[in-house]
Amino acid sequence: MTFAHGPRSDSTLEVVALGGLGEFGMNMLAISCRETTIVIDAGVMFPEPELLGVELIIPDLTYLQQRNGVDALILTHGHEDHIGGVPHLFRYIRGPVYGTPFTLALLAPKLEEHGLEATDRLRPVTPRDEIVAGDFRIELLRVTHSMPDCVALAIHTPVGTVVHTGDFKIDQTPLDGEHVEFHRLAELGSSGVLALFGDSTNIERKGFTGSELEVVNAFEEIFTSTQGKIVVTTFATSIHRIQILIDLAAQFGRKVAFVGRGVVENSQIAERLGRLRIPSGLQIRDSDVRHYPSQEVVCIATGSQGEPLAALSRIAIDDHRHVKLAEGDTVVFSAREIPGNEKAIGRVMNHVARRGASVIYEGIKHVHVSGHGSEEELKLMLSLTRPRHFVPIHGEYRQLARHAQVARGVTGEKTQVLLAENGDILHFGADEGRIAGKAATGRVLIDGTRTGEVVDEVLRDRRHLAADGLVVPVVAINAQTGTLEGVPEVITRGFVVDERSDVLLREVASAIPDIIETASLEERTDYGLIREKIRVELQRLFRKRAGRRPLVLPVIMEI
């Protein structure tokens, strides 16, 4: 599709961020013109500790329902904060899902877990390919990041061209030799970019983000000085980092074992697609680690964020079936700390130290580089594209605001900066861009099954249980006469039992016969009515006697 006569003045481009503005994660951007709606990325966010029992957070999709679905979903790369929400969005997608081969290979198992048959809907694309979706022509441009197969997007619309950077940094020495497509970005800037949506993650870091190869020197020191086994934990999607470790293992005569489901599966996918090269005979199974001298082994493990069930956490407490730590071993944390995980990571490090192993992390040696561009790289993106409008995306509000400030310094009055938040409706015409209103947005909490939404009432109950505990009165009632049979039993969970509360619980047990006796025959012979009466009266008793509000769940057995 071409727009030979330039932007159409009778069209309006509508852009709404459903997530990713004012937060890290949950990235999702909807772009609409006339009858066409496309979505860029569909990510998740991981919950704070106070969201009890919540495993994932996804954006509220009401806006897309109101748009009658999505004509195409385009994925910029395969990180969870960009693809983790696809299974939940899938029912609203009436067209294909586009992504690079590695991105779609990471997505496919997620769809299978949710019972979604999507093979015919997943369309692999590569940089410089073009996608046509209704009124849009989307061009894929290669960028460098912390994983392979990442792209930016040039979206050609009836109103003008929109550039979406995806997550990127400018790595001048990429491990796979695939550079950022500067020349095409510059061509787009010369021909005119209506709007740039730019990654803001690292705007607060001065200068340039280092190349992935910068970690090689630090790891060479570790390989040279470590007498025992080396265990490195990193994100399972950090394929470039894993390749560096494999190359060093081959250089220093060590075998490589992948430990943990995530890194095992992702390395297999990457090797199958030619994105990871493992020399023949170098890799061993985790169950074979014990059969090799410690100085001949490198383990690449999951658990860089201190996840309690991940491989490194189990290794650290000496609970892993195959991998054990000993004095002389070295454990390297080669990943950034996601905010909120500091305590969990610290606990794992302490456990590692108790095993007698050395702990190395970014604060000690240069064992990690970011996958996001720092301030100078973000300035370069603005200079190359020279957009008429600029919208900072991907980051908390302070990052977006800082990126907006930097953009004004780079482009001056030539660019209008729109500092938007989730749900802001951006309207772009041939001659203007503005925030035109607010769409319905929010967060949907997904519980551990990854299928059910956690509504406010459920979350409130979980907090209630965590604060005041649970009291279960077990009562047997004659179904015919409504009389009490036997002695009521009171079971507690999470309710502090001391001398004072023990007296209270005995009082609760003795109050139940009185509650039943004062109830009418109709109440006593109706399971629902008598259960509710006991619950209300006992909650009143707890509140009056102890100022506590445990969750009271009576169990009525009809005899």
Bridge partner list, 144: 169
pLDDT at 454: 54
Say if residue 231 is in the same domain as residue 89. no
Structure tokens at 547: 């100022």
pLDDT at 49: 62
Tell me the per-residue pLDDT of 498-522, one tens digit each, with 9 for 90 and over: 667 778 888 888 898 988 888 887 7
Of 273, 277, 327, 261, nearest to 175 by C-alpha is: 277
**Separation CA 347–CA 344 (nearest Å):** 5
Say if residue 242 is in the same domain as residue 345. yes
Say if residue 65 is in the same domain as residue 102. yes
Tell me the per-residue pLDDT of 421-454, one tens digit each, with 9 for 90 and over: 999 999 999 788 999 999 988 888 887 544 455 5
Cα 520 → chain centroid: 54
CA-based Rg of the chain, rounded to a whole angstrom? Answer: 29
Of 91, 95, 80, 86, nearest to 38 by C-alpha is: 95
- DSSP 8-state class, residue 321: S
Q: Is residue 302 part of a domain?
A: yes
Strand order through the sheet with 150-156: 130-133, 136-143, 150-156, 161-164, 193-199, 387-393, 416-417
Say if residue 157 is in the same domain as residue 229. no
pLDDT at 241: 97
Q: Is residue 1 part of a domain?
A: no
Helix (H, G, I), strand (E, B) or coil at 99: strand
**Separation CA 550–CA 208 (nearest Å):** 54
**Separation CA 443–CA 441 (nearest Å):** 7
Structure tokens at 550: 């445990």
Say if residue 39 is in the same domain as residue 182. yes
Of 353, 251, 347, 356, nearest to 298 by C-alpha is: 251
Q: Is residue 8 part of a domain?
A: no
pLDDT at 326: 96
What domain range is 200 assigned to? 13-207+370-453
Q: Is residue 5 part of a domain?
A: no
Say if residue 266 is in the same domain as residue 404. no
Which helix (DSSP H) or strand (DSSP E) does residue 437 occupy?
strand 433-438
Of the candidates 305, 330, 360, which is a domain's last residue? 360
**Separation CA 25–CA 423 (nearest Å):** 15
Say if residue 39 is in the same domain as residue 179. yes
Say if residue 28 is in the same domain as residue 170. yes
Of 9, 4, 2, 5, nearest to 432 by C-alpha is: 9
pLDDT at 554: 87
422, 18 contact by CB (below 8 A)? yes
Q: Domain with 68 in it: what CATH number?
A: 3.60.15.10
- Placement of tokens 């069209």 in the chain: 11
Of 212, 218, 222, 103, nearest to 166 by C-alpha is: 103
Say if residue 122 is in the same domain as residue 38. yes
Q: Domain with 505 in it: what CATH number?
A: 3.10.20.580
Of the candidates 430, 453, 476, which is a domain's last residue? 453
330, 357 contact by CB (below 8 A)? yes
Say if residue 217 is in the same domain as residue 346. yes
As for how many domains the chain has, the answer is 3
Say if residue 145 is in the same domain as residue 253. no
Residues of the chain with pLDDT under 70: 1-10, 49-53, 448-467, 495-499
Bridge partner list, 39: 30, 73
Of the candidates 394, 426, 453, which is a domain's last residue? 453
**Separation CA 344–CA 237 (nearest Å):** 21
Of 355, 297, 295, nearest to 326 by C-alpha is: 355
The residues carrying an active-site annotation are 199, 372
- pTM surpassing 0.85? no
